[in-house]
Amino acid sequence: MIFRKTVIFLLLFFATTLISSDFKTITFPSSDGVKITADLYILHTDKNTPFIVLFHQAGFSRGEYREITPKLNRLGFNCMAIDQRSGDGGKWRRE
């Protein structure tokens, strides 16, 4: 529930400043205090625009979505690709 509220807040906050298929990198804290990094792909400012949260595979990063997100924007979706904590010892690759 907290994550959903955070996503909604971030979408509304950045929707007025980011109007293109380019992405904006943001950070926000997880419930246990770890900083989460995400790329926002906001093209549509209508608050009813469908929003997709993209989760990468273990051992990869949010960067794997940089090719597909402009296509999702053109199909009418706003997106956020987050870096997950996955891999050995809680460390994860970042781009």
Could you report the per-residue pLDDT of 64-82, keeping only the tens digit for each?
898 999 999 999 999 999 9
Q: Is the model's pTM score more than 0.75? A: no
Q: Check which CATH number belongs to the domain holding 26 and give it.
A: 3.40.50.1820
Q: 95 in a domain, yes or no?
A: no
Neighbours of 54 (CB within 10 A): 17
Tell me which residues of the chain have a pLDDT lower than 70.
1, 5-21, 86-95
| CA-based nearest residue to 82, from 38, 43, 45 | 38
Q: 15 in a domain, yes or no?
A: yes
Provide the pLDDT for residue 95: 45
Q: 30 in a domain, yes or no?
A: yes
Total count of residues recorded for the chain:
95
Provide the pLDDT for residue 71: 93
Q: 68 in a domain, yes or no?
A: yes
Q: 72 in a domain, yes or no?
A: yes
